[in-house]
Structure 1
Amino acid sequence: MKWSALLLQFCLAGAALAGNTDAVRSCQDKQLPPFPPTARELLVVVDQTTPLSPALQQSVANNVKPFLVAGSSFSVVVFSAYTQGHYTEVLASGKLESPLPAEVRNDIAKPVLTKLDQCQQRQPQQAAQAAGQALRAAYQGTSSNIAKSDIYASLKAISSVIKQSAAQDKIVLVVSDMLENSSVANFYAEQGKSVRNIAPAKELRTVEDNHLLADFGGARVYVIGAGLLADEAANGKSYRDPKTMQSLQAFWSDYFSKSNAKLVEFGQPALLNPVR
């Protein structure tokens, strides 16, 4: 079975997981030296006000897949609004330990190495199960009926997860319509039936004035679901004006730049290239 299919299977079946922040069993042993630091960290941020089609859910699974390998860490976080029983929460996180260098392995007894190799071979499976269950729990809690969407405040809070990472390569995958709807700003028009054509510079000043810029620690950012409306998720009939979407992308590009990150791709709603 392909890894993407395996991850989606875990995403759509099995018990929901909440708060599993040590999802991958460590292979560290007193007979082993410390493992090299993880090279990459992936933070998946799911906006529970943005319902996704099965195809977009599969896209998220496909883009998480390459990071569930040795030397990588991952976290799955959900947010919506600070009302109606929804709040920001880390659903799962884990670290897949880096292999020991050959010169270090040469000094370790064979029985210990055998146990180590068996343990590390199990870590990708454990990570796939934890990430898949977390995504499933995130999707189950998604609703277009949540009145508000505090994206600014949520991203500011969540950014601390990736900022504190020691990994050299930091990646953030934001699964959201990116349509702020709070006391600070409203990116919707026609009572939520379309996207408002915003003025990026003006909206960015509002973010700064309300002290809502984040710090993503130099991460690269990808977005899935930008501009996605509830009607479109259900039947694909909503229309998004290209100029309106250009303004939305321009705003978020500037926002992430000022939040110590780089927006690599803005999926409207799907990514044209995989997360790398």
Structure 2
Amino acid sequence: MDQDHSTLLFVVILEMMLNSSLCLEYMVSWFAEIIITKLTIFMSTLFPYSDVTVKTNTLNFQVSNAQEELLQWYAENAAGSPKIIHATERCADGIIQAISKFSLGPNVSPRDIRDSMYNRKSLRPCHEVVMFYLFYERWRRAEVENSEEYVQYLKSIIHSTGNFVHPSGVDQPIHQLTDTIVNLFGDKQGVEFRVWVDRISTSMVSSGSWLVKFDKWELSGNELRCCSTKVLVNSKIDAEDQFTWMHIHQTWVDGFGEKDDMSWVI
């Protein structure tokens, strides 16, 4: 990507970045890493009086009257440029719109992929985790079919000899999770139940093996719980873009869970 292309893409995300802190999720984190330094230089050029702070995957700044000035700059200097768009979508949708416009990578939110367990060609371990928990949410909400194909696929990604350390401290064979999840089909149907992951990161521990760290959140009715989670995944020999869950270790995040709460599944 040339300098003009990467820096001027700032206009694409002006709606969500003004007077705010931007933390891109896993889907666009790589995109932020490419442009963040150049964005800072670009912003300093446009707004020398701005207060700019750069952190890993985070851009924090405060600019007075930034929206009006940026829109004026865009109208006067870049309205006809094929390298710049003023996104019509808001917030993260604006970033996804830009990624699609410039063919920079995946541009469909995992939540918009209805059959997530089958249409889940995982490029990275973090994507594997996100798609799994989306399926888990939909399974418990009965938003997918209760079919043998799903059950077998679930068994194929859970290793038969691994272990799962529950946030209560109980250590159990990981394969027991399969039967537990299968038996929970539709138990959250018709109630407010959402699952998501946050602060996800990966590190390769050996060839074909990754440690994935993240916070797993679960909202059920008015109850919000969260676990700090570590998952060891191995790429499959016959499909390197798919993974097997080897080990899971979870601990409660302070204030978001009770030590002896065994109703938490995974």
> Do they fold alike, i.e. is TM over 0.5?
no
Larger radius of gyration: 2
Query: TM-score, normalization: structure 2?
Result: 0.27
Query: TM-score, normalization: structure 1?
Result: 0.27
Which has more strand, going by share of residues? 2
